[in-house]
Structure 1
Amino acid sequence: MYSVEELIFGCPVEALSNILGKKWVAVIIWTLQERQLRFGELQREVEGCTKKMLTQQLDLLVHHGIIINEKTSENNMVTSIYYLSGAGLALIPIMEKMIYWSNQNLICEK
């Protein structure tokens, strides 16, 4: 059994699809694939995502071990840096294959 936000799935593909299918999650993962970003930097990169939604999705991704939130303290200021974990980095080739499949099999209206 696989659990995502109190939902139970019998299939690992269905559980992962539930995570990746959430609004902004794929964009957040894709944005963090090559660099670490602070919250404000990530918010600017993920245009249109509200602070509340970004916080919720980051919490979900941290909870599932896809993203790491490293907090550092300097001069009484706490800085959060977000980056992909090993599990998160392992999703990039899967997402690339999803992009390829979509480009080959889905009609994109512009």
Structure 2
Amino acid sequence: MSATNTGVPSPLDTALPTPVPSGEHEQCPVTDVLRRIGDKWTVLVVVLLGQRPYRFNELHRGIEGISQRMLTRTLRGLEADGLVRREVFATVPPSVEYSLTPMGATLLEPLSALADWAIENQPAIAASRRATSARTNNLSAG
């Protein structure tokens, strides 16, 4: 993100005020996008649709543990944000196919970078969590 593209300075290029105003945080475009992709199912749906278009039931069968209601909500949210395209085919019964929009496809690169970072740093994160848990358990026992 850069000021020339969005009118919002990059968080790495700008010192944040202390304390950060809650209204500013709530209205931040980054906060908004992280809310959307940070839920339990959105990244998985985007990654699957990045491979190819899916019909609803095919997508539902392809994601173990997601309810039809939650898949519908996830797809509707992504469609409302312009990341997913919903196409209805005039068949009997009607069939619906979902695919990423061009903007949705641009999300795959930053998601891939985040996935690479997570995989690379997972051992260190797990070690840190174990150390924190051990310290917490020692404090509780003492």
Distance 1:104 1:77 in 2: 46
**SS of residue matched to 2:104:** helix
Aligned residue type for 1:73: A
CA RMSD of aligned residues (A): 1.6
Distance 1:105 1:45 in 2: 28
Q: Which has the higher strand share?
A: 1
Match of 2:69 among 37, 45, 52: 52
Gaps of 5+ in 1: 1-7
Distance 1:56 1:44 in 2: 16
TM-score normalised over the length of structure 1 = 0.84
Gaps of 5+ in 2: 1-24, 127-142
TM-score normalised over the length of structure 2 = 0.66
Aligned residue type for 2:54: L
2:100 maps to 1:94: no
Distance 1:46 1:29 in 2: 12
TM superposition shift of 1:13 = 1.3
Q: In the alignment, what sits opposite 2:97?
A: 81
Q: 1 or 2 for the larger relative contact order (CA 8 Å, sep ≥6)?
A: 1
Q: Which has the higher helix share?
A: 2
Aligned residue type for 2:96: S
Aligned residue type for 1:29: V
Larger Rg: 2
